[in-house]
């Protein structure tokens, strides 16, 4: 392996070098993300209205478009020390294998039991719930990374944790379910008969195996109908991107420590939590005109919210009980084909990421899943880490960009987010190993069904 003697294989920040503040990219955005709207009045949600669903301090963070830096409470910094700093890895082996002049780095967020970056926001949301004296929190989970992360955070703080898990995942991913139970969470398959909306969905679609949008509706209802509970969400929201900025802050600190300047920054995008967090401080520099970077969001061709969605107000859930968010969306009724194996199956995209994309500050690419798993397998064999299917979307484009450099001879520096590990995704890998994985790209007609369900919100 050829190694630049000045740059270690893995860059770990020292404990005292770890960031102590989150960075709020909204403060530097000229066009702010549109506010959440009350679906009844179509007026911006007030702090009071949001406070019925979310913890008070998280509501403040959700609405704060002004403060660029927010101190991370000491208790959260302590928890971060349990699994952070995450290493910034120089992919020397991958570079050698690809014979590219590009320099490739990845920020690896999978070295914790949740297997992903989700823990960064889970501990923050659980902490504020605890601080407010609440008994517990409710949430939904699909593949289970977010539910696991929240279970871990709640176990650490002694909070009750109720997880509504998409039924198909509950049944097909029993191991994820058991990890959450080991951390003391109660896990309910969704749709369930424990909520009104669950009963309604079951009555309308008796055989349904659930969806993330469904599970959100149930978790919100469970939170607002009980004393001492609030709802928490693992992606999409402004507050989540704020917490996830720790990824970007650490990445930037590690790069700065070794004088490395990235040219391209790549992240996979489902609801936008990892991508938004990774790019935040770099986007800040770009917004302030200090630096320029090529920033690429990568999404599945089977759930292409940025590349083929509409920039419009939409519900965040299937049951239409949440506020409306202005985002790139496929419609809250959109459900990805069962053929789709990886994550990143949410119908919408974080309003912050959506606005930045709309304003031309970043690009988006949609990739097909067999190409994603090819990249995943190649990466696993060369770099050792078995990546999550979600993360492998970013790997795919990082490899593509590195191969372009091979053609042009450019020595670009590429940084991508490796959000997590694929240990609980072996059913998808098995499909790929057995050569029975195929691709699926929705037709315009397929997408129209989701668009038809968009709420009618007049432009201001």
Neighbouring residues of 142: CB distance < 8 A, sequence distance ≥ 6: 165, 166, 169, 212, 215, 343, 345
Residue 144 or 213: which CB sits closer to a copy of itself?
Answer: 144
- Strands 310-315 and 324-329 turn out to be antiparallel
- E-state strands within 158-271: 160-166, 186-190, 229-231, 264-268
d(CA 97, CA 99): 5
Containing 381, the helix (H) or strand (E) segment is helix 369-383
- Nearer to a copy of itself (CB atom), residue 49 or residue 374: 374
Binding window for a copy of itself (CB under 8 A); candidates: 6-14, 137-145, 162-170, 306-314: 6-14
Q: Which single residue is written with the structure tokens 């949600």? A: 45
d(CA 168, CA 105): 35
Question: Applying CB under 8 A, does 435 fall inside the site for a copy of itself?
Answer: no
Q: Is 384 in the site for a copy of itself (CB under 8 A)?
A: yes
Please answer whether residues 363 and 295 qualify as being in contact, where contact means their C-beta atoms are separated by less than 8 angstroms.
Answer: yes
Q: Which of 350, 369 has the CB closer to a copy of itself?
A: 369
Q: How far is the CB of 242 from a copy of itself (least distance, A)?
A: 22
Shortest Å, Cβ 126 to a copy of itself: 13
As measured in angstroms, the least distance from the Cβ of 157 to a copy of itself is 10
Selected from 20, 21, 135, 181, the binder of a copy of itself by CB under 8 A is 181
The answer to whether the beta carbons of residues 217 and 319 sit under 8 Å apart is yes
The number of angstroms, rounded, from the C-alpha of 85 to the middle of its chain's C-alpha atoms is: 19
With binding defined as CB under 8 A, does residue 10 bind a copy of itself?
yes
Contact 102, 412 (CB under 8 A): yes
Q: By C-beta, is 183 or 346 nearer to a copy of itself? A: 183
Alpha-carbon distance of 107 to 86, in angstroms, equals: 7
Q: Which is nearer to a copy of itself, 181 or 200 (CB)?
A: 181
Using the minimum distance from each CB to a copy of itself, give the nearer residue, 52 or 426.
426
Give the C-alpha separation, 140 to 152, whole Å: 15
Nearest to 309 by CA among 353, 275, 341: 353
Please pick, from the candidates 102, 152, 246, 372, the single residue that binds a copy of itself as defined by CB under 8 A: 152
Query: CB atoms < 10 A from the CB of 125, how many?
Result: 29
Nearest CB to a copy of itself, comparing residues 329 and 421: 421
Residue choice 63, 385, 415, 437 for contact with a copy of itself (CB under 8 A):
385
Closest distance to a copy of itself from the beta carbon of 419 (Å): 15
Which of 139, 164, 421, 454 is in the footprint of a copy of itself by CB under 8 A? 421
Give the one residue of 17, 42, 292, 423 binding a copy of itself; rule: CB under 8 A: 423
Residues 110-139 binding a copy of itself (CB under 8 A) are 111-113, 115
User: With 0-12 CB in 10 A as exposed, 13-18 as middle and 19+ as buried, what is 56?
Assistant: middle
Q: Print the binding letters for residues 48-87 with a copy of itself: x by CB under 8 A, - otherwise.
A: ---------------------------x--x--xxx----
Q: Which is nearer to a copy of itself, 8 or 51 (CB)?
A: 8
**How far apart (Å, rounded) are the C-alpha atoms in residues 58 and 282?**
24
Question: Of these, 68, 320, 380, 457, which contacts a copy of itself (CB under 8 A)?
Answer: 380
Tell me the per-residue interface mask from 92 to 111 with a copy of itself, x by CB under 8 A, - otherwise: -x-----------------x
Rank residues 9 and 135 by Cβ distance to a copy of itself and give the closer one.
9
Place of tokens 């000491």: 74
Residue with tokens 């630096």: 291
Candidates 171, 292, 410, 430: give the one binding a copy of itself (CB under 8 A): 430
Binding mask 340-379 for a copy of itself (x = CB under 8 A): -------------------------------------x--
Beta bridge partners of 117: none
Radius of gyration for the alpha carbons in the chain, expressed in angstroms and rounded: 21
Complete DSSP assignment for 94-141: HHHHHT-S-EEEEEE---STT-BTTHHHHHHHHHHHHHTT-SEEEEEE
Residues in contact with a copy of itself by CB under 8 A are: 1, 3, 8-10, 12, 14-15, 75, 78, 81-83, 93, 111-113, 115, 152, 155-156, 174-175, 178-179, 181-184, 377, 380-386, 421, 423-424, 426-427, 429-430, 432-433
């Amino acid at each position: 392996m050829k190694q630049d003697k000045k740059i270690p294989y893995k860059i770990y920040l020292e404990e005292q070098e770890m960031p102590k503040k989150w960075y709020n990219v909204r403060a530097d955005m000229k066009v702010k993300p549109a506010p959440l709207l009350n679906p009844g009045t179509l007026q911006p949600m007030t702090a009071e209205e949001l406070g019925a669903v979310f913890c008070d301090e998280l509501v403040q963070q959700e609405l704060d478009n002004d403060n660029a830096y927010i101190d991370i409470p000491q208790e959260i910094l302590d928890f971060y020390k349990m699994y952070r700093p995450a290493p910034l890895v120089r992919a020397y082996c991958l570079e050698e294998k690809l014979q590219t002049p590009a320099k490739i780095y990845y920020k690896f967020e999978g070295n914790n039991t949740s297997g992903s970056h989700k823990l960064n926001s889970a501990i923050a949301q659980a902490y504020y719930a605890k601080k407010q004296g609440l008994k517990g929190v409710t949430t939904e989970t699909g593949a289970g990374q977010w539910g696991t992360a929240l279970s871990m955070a709640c176990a650490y703080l002694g909070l009750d944790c109720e997880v509504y898990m998409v039924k198909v995942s509950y049944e097909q991913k029993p191991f994820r379910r058991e990890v959450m139970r080991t951390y003391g969470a109660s896990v309910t398959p969704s749709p369930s008969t424990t909520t009104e909306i669950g009963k309604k969905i079951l009555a309308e679609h008796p055989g349904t195996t659930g969806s993330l949008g469904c599970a959100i509706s149930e978790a919100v209802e469970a939170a607002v109908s009980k004393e001492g509970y609030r709802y928490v969400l693992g992606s999409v929201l402004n507050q989540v991107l704020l917490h996830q900025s720790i990824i970007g802050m650490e990445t930037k600190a590690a790069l700065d420590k070794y004088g490395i300047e990235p040219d391209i920054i790549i992240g996979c995008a489902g609801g936008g939590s990892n991508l938004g967090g990774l790019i935040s401080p770099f986007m800040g520099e770009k917004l302030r005109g200090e630096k320029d970077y090529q920033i690429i969001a990568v999404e599945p061709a089977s759930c292409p919210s940025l590349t083929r969605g509409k920039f419009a107000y939409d519900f965040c859930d299937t049951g239409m009980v949440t506020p409306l968010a202005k985002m790139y969306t496929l419609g809250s009724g959109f459900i990805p084909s069962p053929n789709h194996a990886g994550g990143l199956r949410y119908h919408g995209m974080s309003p912050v990421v959506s606005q930045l994309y709309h304003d031309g500050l970043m690009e988006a690419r949609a990739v097909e899943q067999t190409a994603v798993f090819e990249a995943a397998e190649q990466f696993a064999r060369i770099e050792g880490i078995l990546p999550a299917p979600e993360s492998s979307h970013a790997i795919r484009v990082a490899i593509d960009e590195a191969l372009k450099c091979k053609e042009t001879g450019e020595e670009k520096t590429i940084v991508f987010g490796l959000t997590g590990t694929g240990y609980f995704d072996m059913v998808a890998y098995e499909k790929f190993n057995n050569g029975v994985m195929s691709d699926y790209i929705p037709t315009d007609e397929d997408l129209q069904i989701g668009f038809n369900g968009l709420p009618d919100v007049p432009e201001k």
